[in-house]
Amino acid sequence: MAALLSLLKPVAYASLPVLALQYSPRGRYYTRTVAYVGAMGVLAALGACYAAGLSMVGRRYDVNHAVARTFYALAGTILGLTVEVEGEEWLQDSNQGGGRPGVLMANHQSMLDLVLVGRTMPKRTSIMSKKSIQLTPLGPFMTMSGAVFIDRGNSTRALRSMDAAVNLLRTLRISLWMFPEGTRNNSEHPGLLPFKKGGFHLAVQSGLPIIPLVVENYWHIYHKNVFESGVIRVRVLPPIPTSGLTATDVPALVTLVRDQMLAALIEISTKAPAAPSPKVLAPLPDPGSVSSVAAVLSDVVSDHTTAMPEDAVFEAKADAPTATVAVSPSRESLASSGFEGVTGSENGMETEEDDEGMVLVGRPT
């Protein structure tokens, strides 16, 4: 007993400053951020082990699901975060009455979105990332999990990767996760940035439905100098079909999906009142990066989703949402919106890049 007490005494003394910091909002912010970054480090280490094991038994496309659930269990328990999901049935396979396979699109607020991804990432879901991520500690895990890497500096190789992604979605019934805003938008009022069009082109080319996931505005839980425990709500909207659509339908499709997501975001964000008019909000810098590890791993969340070459930039329609939006658009309704198609680049590819240097999905012209 004496030996055990001698071991526990230094730990108890060392924990006193941490416990004292919990009485200050700013103290909680920094201690919780350090704990969160530590959980992300564990995630990176376990990812390769999960990928190696599941690949050996022919389940490489379930790696992301396994890693995500582990992170949610770890970070959620440590930080007292719970994610409640409404409409989770749409994340089931279509053979079970759900909407998958499909292109999953979620709003992006901060590095805390990893917890939301951890709770909602379904099985057989792949990610798309820029090629440079292969050189990071996450490279082996992502490669073994079946990620599609894009060489954004070479249009020819990027086009081949794009074709591989479309084939992956069509033939293997694999879903793809992405953030259509392309960067973080952590704001006091619920809102969405303009959507990048790359993911919508990919959905149209593959013929798979778009499944929107709307995360409530969690400003009351996490923003600069604030990091609290609590419940975060997610609403999964019914799938929006893309079968039969063409590239000329993409602008109207972008507007339709964004309007639905913004309306749902304002509705479920009860903790933070909406702005007087739901205009596009400028992104705020994410304060969560307290170390180089945090910066790399947080950026990988975005890089995971929609990396493509950087020949051109798309501009998404940023209209205010309407009160009622159709759930399942037909091709005629989309085409009737009067939007024009997207112009191509000199290299024959359409691409877009966010303000963090992440390049988003392109398509051949």
Residue pLDDT, tens place only, 79-136: 999 999 999 999 988 877 777 899 999 999 998 998 999 999 999 888 777 677 777 7
pLDDT value at residue 113: 92
Cα 17–chain centre separation:
35
What are 184's two structure tokens?
Answer: 């973080």
Q: Is the dihedral of CA 289, 294, 299, 302 positive or negative?
A: negative
Number of H helices and E strands in the chain, helices first, is: 10, 12
Domain count, the chain: 1
- Residues paired with 104 in a beta bridge: 177, 211
In a domain, 41, yes or no: yes
Half-sphere exposure in the Cβ direction for 248 (13 Å, CA): 9
In a domain, 326, yes or no: yes
What are the backbone dihedrals phi and psi of residue 353, each rounded to the nearest 5 degrees, phi first? -135, 135
The span from the CA of 24 to the CA of 7, in Å, is 29
Specify the residue for token string 């089931």.
92
pLDDT value at residue 140: 75
In a domain, 6, yes or no: no
In a domain, 5, yes or no: no
Instruction: Give pLDDT tens digits for 95-107.
Output: 777 778 999 999 9
Beta-carbon neighbour count of residue 130 at 10 Å?
Answer: 26
Q: What is the percent of the chain where pLDDT is above 90?
A: 33
- Residues spanned by the domain of 212: 24-364
The span from the CA of 183 to the CA of 308, in Å, is 15
In a domain, 226, yes or no: yes
Contact call for residues 176 and 104 (beta carbons, < 8 A) = yes
Contact call for residues 102 and 209 (beta carbons, < 8 A) = yes
pLDDT value at residue 10: 55
The span from the CA of 106 to the CA of 116, in Å, is 10
In a domain, 2, yes or no: no
What are 107's two structure tokens?
Answer: 């709003």
In a domain, 12, yes or no: no
Quick check: 224 pLDDT over 80?
A: yes
In a domain, 223, yes or no: yes
